[in-house]
């Protein structure tokens, strides 16, 4: 039996089921970040993301954008937990014949986004490898009261997304802006129940929230904010790496948010009881059962 | 110009020279761990290490030992700073055809050593890749007064190593015990000035201490504790991955340590002024200038 036979999610489950953690770990494997006890007011957030040449990016892509993305994906994970990113370390696997010029560009992409989000790059490791491989681990912080997990959506919540969906394929996955500002704004002025960043695709990532919160959802095709470059509903539903935030809040608080008429936050549906499953209401008002699809490595 | 032309150390320097960190970073790139401010009494330690199949291990090696090593190398970095490891995240690049059985073994190796050293594995990331690639990032903690860096050796210090050297090639690099207990014992009962773990080889790692502390050293061939499986002085001096601790302490405190007659701590020489350089006194009493050699990825 190979990893291809078993699939990415089963493989992760196989490992994470065996993990035991002590009482200082608020949330281990299974959310956007690990959540660790820190002090009376705050938790620490820890996350890692690996990019591999030929899988997550092609050699034709500007290395500046690859470097930028390698840091941005971890920032997005911290945003999904409503935190502030602070520090990161960078491990790189590099083929012998890689040009120093290419690495300079790649590194410039890292430095620029780290500066933009006030993140300290504090170390790293270099190894030889057959393809360029970048793994970034990021440490952040969140006030206890602001922590948002995948597991705390409640029946009756409205579901929102930031920005627009489906633009990933046409290049957004390399140029997205991690939604730290949006997450911090929500934390400060509203109360988010559950949150995740859309890295696998709306249908799959909403399914993560539903499963972990033990709830169902109804979303409306008419309400999904399509990226101008997205070609179909399927792009918006199933293509990974939009790196927008998907979140739920109580109807009461959602009303306050909606009154502000902010272009960056769009309601797309509501959380319902688990027994109702996951439904899309299409443009004709017809309900369609959703089977989550999205990017998987195996 | 390729990375092979420029070499590993120049490449790291090229990057690390561009890093800017804020006042919460006590030590960024350039030591075994990054050192971050935490609270009045403690610092946080952060480190990462990447292993790549075909470079850091061959496909013939028992995956259990590969998994074990992937965690052990980061524990060793925390030990070099005299800290306690607490949490880690694991990123893995996996070829599609990898057997689940192999990964189960590899993961068992990780779990066992994490349990042994009371480390919480709190998350990870999986990607496809052409060769098995494992990157572990580890978070630890050290009391401020116990922190040991590469940069604080002083002229007059004695130089010690734990265990024995040169056994890496014959398999120790897969089975070494990270020297946490030794480091914590030293921190509790003595005062270490500078410390590093021997991952590149004694000559190269001592050279790191000398350069960063702006001092020289005299070491004695007769005093180097050779592993029973090491075949030559060159093995003990220049082969990487012994993962023993190399440290310096004042002569006064060293005397206290020597009186205890502990088999795990052996003096090998002394720190001298920078102008005297790095010298080995061979078995005939003849001084030989040392040009650091050891493992480099490029």
Task: Give the three-state DSSP class for A65.
Answer: helix
| Superfamily classification of domain B3-145 | PurM-like, N-terminal domain (3.30.1330.10)
DSSP H helical ranges for chain B: 3-6, 8-16, 63-80, 100-116, 173-175, 180-189, 202-213, 233-238, 251-259
Decide: residue B255, CB within 10 A, 0-12 exposed, 13-18 middle, 19+ buried: exposed
Torsion on CA atoms A273, A277, A282, A285, rounded to nearest 10: -50
Residue A290: per-residue pLDDT: 92
Tens place of pLDDT for every residue, chain A, 298 residues?
A: 999 999 988 999 999 999 999 999 999 999 999 999 999 999 999 999 999 999 999 999 999 999 999 999 999 999 999 999 999 999 999 999 999 999 999 999 999 999 999 999 999 999 999 999 999 999 999 999 999 999 999 999 999 999 999 988 888 899 999 999 999 999 999 999 999 999 999 999 999 999 999 999 999 999 999 998 888 888 889 888 999 999 999 999 999 999 999 999 999 999 999 999 999 999 999 999 998 777 777 7
Residue recorded with tokens 């010298």: B279
Nearest to B216 by CA among B157, B147, B286, B284: B157
Nearest to B298 among A22, A115, A128 (CB): A128
Residue A117: per-residue pLDDT: 98
User: How far does CA B93 lie from the centroid of its chain?
Assistant: 24
Task: Give the three-state DSSP class for A83.
Answer: coil
From the CA of A256, how many Å to the nearest CA of chain B? 35
Domain positions in chain B are 3-145, 149-289
Nearest to A93 among B22, B33, B50 (CB): B50
Same fold, A3-145 and A148-289: no
E strand map for A144-276: 158-162, 194-197, 216-220, 245-249, 265-272
Residues whose CB falls within 8 Å of the CB of residue A4, separated by 6 or more in sequence, listed in order: A298, B96, B97
User: How many CB pairs below 8 A link A and B?
Assistant: 242
Q: Which chain A residues are closer than 8 Å to B15 by Cβ?
A: 107, 124
**What CA–CA distances, in Å, run from B143 to A123, B43, B185?**
20, 6, 13
Return the sign of the alpha-carbon dihedral for residues A264, A269, A270, A275: negative
- The secondary structure of residue A172, as a DSSP letter, is I
CB-based contact A58:A171 (threshold 8 Å)? no
Decide: residue A121, CB within 10 A, 0-12 exposed, 13-18 middle, 19+ buried: buried
Structure tokens at A164: 């627009």
Chain A interface mutation, best of B1, B17, B40, B48, highest count of A Cβ atoms under 10 Å: B48
Chain B interface mutation, best of A93, A140, A141, highest count of B Cβ atoms under 10 Å: A93
Task: Give the three-state DSSP class for A40.
Answer: coil
CATH number belonging to the domain at A148-289, selected among 3.20.20.105, 3.40.50.720, 3.90.650.10, 3.90.550.10: 3.90.650.10
- Measure CA of the first residue to CA of the last residue in chain B; give whole Å: 13
Mean pLDDT of B202-210: 96
> How would you classify the pairing of strands B120-128 and B84-94?
parallel
The CATH number of B149-289 is: 3.90.650.10
Phi-psi label, residue A269: left if phi above 0, alpha if psi -120 to 50, beta otherwise: left
What would you report as the CA-atom Rg of chain B, rounded to the nearest whole angstrom? 19
Residues whose CB falls within 8 Å of the CB of residue B284, separated by 6 or more in sequence, listed in order: none
């Amino acid at each position: 039996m190979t990893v291809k036979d078993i699939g990415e999610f089963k493989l992760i489950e196989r490992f994470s089921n065996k993990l035991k953690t002590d009482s200082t770990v608020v949330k281990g494997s299974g959310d956007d970040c690990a959540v660790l006890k820190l002090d009376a007011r705050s938790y620490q957030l820890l996350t890692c993301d690996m990019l591999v040449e030929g899988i997550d990016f092609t050699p034709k892509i500007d290395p500046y954008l690859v470097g930028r993305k390698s840091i941005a994906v971890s920032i997005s994970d911290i945003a999904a937990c409503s935190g502030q990113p602070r520090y990161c370390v960078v491990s790189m696997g590099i083929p012998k014949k890689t040009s120093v010029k290419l690495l300079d560009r790649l590194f410039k992409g890292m430095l620029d986004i780290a500066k933009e989000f006030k993140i300290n790059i504090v170390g790293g490791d270099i190894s030889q490898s057959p393809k360029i491989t970048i793994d970034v681990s990021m440490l952040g912080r969140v006030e206890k009261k602001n922590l948002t997990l995948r597991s705390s959506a409640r029946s009756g919540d409205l579901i929102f997304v930031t920005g627009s969906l489906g633009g990933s394929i046409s290049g957004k996955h390399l140029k997205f802006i991690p939604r730290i500002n949006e997450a911090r704004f929500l934390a400060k002025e509203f109360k988010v129940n559950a949150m995740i960043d859309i890295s696998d695709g709306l249908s799959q990532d909403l399914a993560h929230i539903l499963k972990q919160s033990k709830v169902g959802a109804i979303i409306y095709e008419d309400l999904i904010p399509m990226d101008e470059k997205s070609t179909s509903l399927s792009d918006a539903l199933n293509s990974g790496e939009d790196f927008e935030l998907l979140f739920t809040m109580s109807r009461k608080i959602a009303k306050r948010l909606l009154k502000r008429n902010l272009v960056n936050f769009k309601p797309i549906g509501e959380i319902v009881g688990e027994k109702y499953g996951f439904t899309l209401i299409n443009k004709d008002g017809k309900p369609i059962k959703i089977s989550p699809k999205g990017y998987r490595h195996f």
